[in-house]
Amino acid sequence: MTLLDSAIQILNALSYASTLFLMASGLTLIFGVTRIVNFAHGSFFMLGAMLSAHVVSVWLPAWGESAWGYAGAMLIGALASGCLGALVELVLLRRMHGVPELYQLVATFGLTLVMHDAMLFAFGPDEVFAPRFPGLKGSIEIGEQFFPVYSLGLVALGPLVWAALHGLLTRTRWGAQVRAATADRGMLDALGINPRPLMLGAVALGCALAGLAGALQLPREPAKLQMDVTIVVETFVVVVTGGLGSVSGAFFAALLIGAIHVLGVTFFPQATLVLVFVTMALVLIVRPEGLMGSPVGAAPREKAQIFKVVTESIESVAMHSVAFVLWSGMLLAAVFGGEYWRAVAADALILMIFGLSLQWMMALSGVVSFGHAAFFALGAYGAALTHVHIGGGLALAVVNGCLLALAVAAVFGALVVRSSGVYLAMLSLALAQVVWAGATQWIGVTGGDNGLIGLDWVNPQSRLAFDLVLAAIAALGLVAMFIGARSRLGQALQASRDAPLRAAASGLHVGWLRYGAFLVSAVGAGLAGALMAAHKGAVFPTAASVATSVDALLVVLLGGVHQLWGVALGSGVLSLLTAELGRGFVYWKGALGVLIMVMMVLAPSGLLSLTLRRPTGARP
């Protein structure tokens, strides 16, 4: 590569970094003041892009011919995102203050579903192509290559935004209060300063920056309804790499990730996403708080509980009975139902096994994963590749799928032991995205988006036997959970979860206990993935998607993390809702998102927890 080629690549990296910084600075600002991890941040990016694109291309095309009009359309997109962000803070985020980060992530994922379907209703499903920005068309010549003038403008924009934010936070009274709220909000309360206006302003400004970032992408790419998840995942990478709550850290991390991204596209196009996430992991190994972050205080969490089967409450007995009846219904539907209901029952049973694997880790060891789909997908691909390249029966394929999940978990588990809270959630999400990227780009092995199809383990003649095996495995999983939670190992795990220092002083190896629980959980997820491959007869990269990870979390949270029958209730409810809402209802994901948000606000500990008697004034 010549010197001029290097200059072009540096400019590409700086241009990409500017977009990442606009997103990351907004997310950092929101987290710093509210301590809420907003997974819907990418939806505000998409809103800014979609609204601005419709202004300049559909509603007022004359604006697209004027630089001032185009800039005005971009400003409209940013302002709309900021105003909607303020509304979301008032309605949802304010009610999520002081709850565990997991519930914040899941609730804002529900908001993502709602905003996606709202924009689908308002703008339609088609891509919208915007014109070039007037006055910044064309390219400049660098040697024998050309670099777009508009991208050069974005290169200059990043440092300007950083300087403006730095001045706002260091030179104004509002900025001083924001920094105080970020450092110690309790002290801010003691001084008589109401933190609510600060939170509202921070969320509005952060969402406006996201909307502006989306609008600024228009001259370079079309606005579409699939641009939210990809950008938010990379934004989380930047924020976590830079350090939660640090705007300067986000700036330098955006430069680093932008450079890695461009170098990956140039030299390793099949492994670009993998390189980005590996970079984040390496930074966190050296500096667990990120490049310029400081240790984040322990997040709020639920009161420690043990698994409950039936309590003295009549309501609790009734709710657990409903969960048992629901699980029995899955079994009856698998045996006697028609083709549709048998498929729904099989989906629910596999989801139940997947949820049990995550519940083991969350409830007993306190380790939370936002990327458990990684091991689900590894189990599925391990089983499918065994069938394609080795042959043999379903049993061999399932074993190999579990072994592949175990092998990856054995390596990744070393990071799990060192991390906690939102850093752990983002690391697990990064691992899932690495698996997803590998499945998508390693076409020679995984088939890419075409997947691995033609897995003929289960045919109509063996379907009944397979469904009965699913029901038996799910039942054994419940029994194992019940016995494991009350065993000496289960008690040691819960002690390590609730009082790690005291447990270590008592001779327990806290790190090894967490590591072992993580491995067991990964194997369980791999088992569910292998069974899914057999059930569907195919495996696609969506097995490692964010939505798949959220499905596992919802199964656990809908019923209750600390309720034995909670996973049975959660898998049944979620499977029925997704199956029935998806039949002829275009906006079913939005409806599911509303349910998720309501659950996280009103019953974050699950439906079954509502039946538990608590002292007056006690918090779930």
Structure confidence by residue, pLDDT tens digits, 463-477: 888 988 998 899 899
Residue with the bigger pLDDT between 451 and 429: it is 451
118 pLDDT more than 90: yes
Token pair 């048998």 is at which residue? 342
Mean pLDDT of 206-220: 94
pLDDT above 80 (res 327): no
**Residue 239 has what pLDDT?**
87
**Local structure of 144: helix, strand or coil:** coil
For residue 609, name the pLDDT band (cuts at 50, 70, 90). low
Give me the pLDDT at residue 615, please: 41
Residue among 405, 428, 351 nearest 520 (CA): 405
Predicted confidence at residue 544, as pLDDT, reads 93
Please give the model's pTM, rounded to 2 decimal places. 0.85
Q: Above 90 in pLDDT, residue 75? A: yes
Please say whether the beta carbons of 219 and 130 come within 8 A.
yes
Which comes out higher in pLDDT, residue 77 or 302? Answer: 77
pLDDT of 325 above 80: no
* Helix, strand, coil content of the chain in percent (nearest 5): 75, 5, 20
Question: How many CB atoms are closer than 10 A to CB 583?
Answer: 9
Q: What confidence score (pLDDT) does residue 532 get? A: 95
Query: Of 188-197, 250-259, 282-291, 454-463, which gets the smallest average pLDDT?
Result: 188-197
List all residues 6 or more positions away from 120 whose beta carbon is below 8 Å from its beta carbon.
225, 586, 587
Residues contacting residue 241 through CB under 8 Å, at least 6 positions apart: 249, 253, 256, 257, 279, 280, 283, 284, 290, 291
Residue of higher predicted confidence among 430 and 41? 41
Mean pLDDT value of segment 498-516: 84
Highest-confidence range of 206-215, 297-306, 307-316, by mean pLDDT? 206-215
Question: At residue 409, does pLDDT exceed 60?
Answer: yes
Above 60 in pLDDT, residue 237? yes
Question: How far is residue 283 CA from its own chain's centroid?
Answer: 20
Across 519-587, the runs of DSSP E, i.e. the strands, are 538-539
* pLDDT over 60 at 490, yes or no: yes
pLDDT value, residue 614: 47
* Residue-level pLDDT at 298: 46
- Give the pLDDT confidence score for residue 111 in this predicted structure: 94
506-511 contact pairs (CB < 8 A, 24+)? 511/417
User: According to the model, what pLDDT value does residue 529 have?
Assistant: 96
**How far apart (Å, rounded) are the C-alpha atoms in residues 315 and 47?**
44
What percentage of the chain carries pLDDT values higher than 70? 88
- In this prediction, residue 326 carries a pLDDT of 64
Query: Could you read off the pLDDT of 33-50 as tens digits, one per residue?
Result: 887 888 899 999 999 999
Kindly tell me if the per-residue pLDDT of 53 is higher than 90: yes
The pLDDT of 57-77, averaged and rounded, is 93
Beta strands at 145-148 and 139-142: parallel, antiparallel or unpaired: antiparallel
Predicted confidence band at 215 (pLDDT cuts at 50, 70, 90)?
very high
Cα–Cα distance, 17 to 22 (Å, whole number): 9
The pLDDT of residue 537: 92
pLDDT at 206: 94
Look at residue 184 and tell me whether its pLDDT is greater than 80: no
With H, G, I as helix, E, B as strand and everything else as coil, classify residue 452: strand
Higher per-residue pLDDT: 1 or 246: 246
How far is the C-alpha of 308 from the C-alpha of 317, rounded, in Å? 11
Q: What is the pLDDT of residue 246?
A: 83
- Looking at the predicted structure, is the pLDDT value of residue 305 above 60? no
> Residue 121 pLDDT more than 80?
yes
* Other CB atoms within 10 A of residue 142 CB: 13
Tell me which of 333 and 552 has the higher pLDDT: 552
Confidence check: pLDDT of 14 > 80? yes
What does the pLDDT average to over 307-314?
49
CA distance 341 to 326: 13
Question: Widest CA span of the chain, in angstroms?
Answer: 80
pLDDT over 90 (residue 401): yes
Least confident of 285-289, 376-380, 565-569: 285-289
Q: Flag whether pLDDT at 447 surpasses 50.
A: yes
- pLDDT digit string, tens, across residues 552-608: 998 988 888 878 778 888 888 888 888 888 777 889 889 889 988 988 888 777 776
Higher-confidence position of 569 and 327: 569
**Average pLDDT of the segment spanning 69-87:** 96
Closest CA to 30 of 206, 167, 169, 180: 206
Q: What is the mean pLDDT of the chain?
A: 84
> pLDDT confidence of 299, banded at 50, 70, 90?
very low
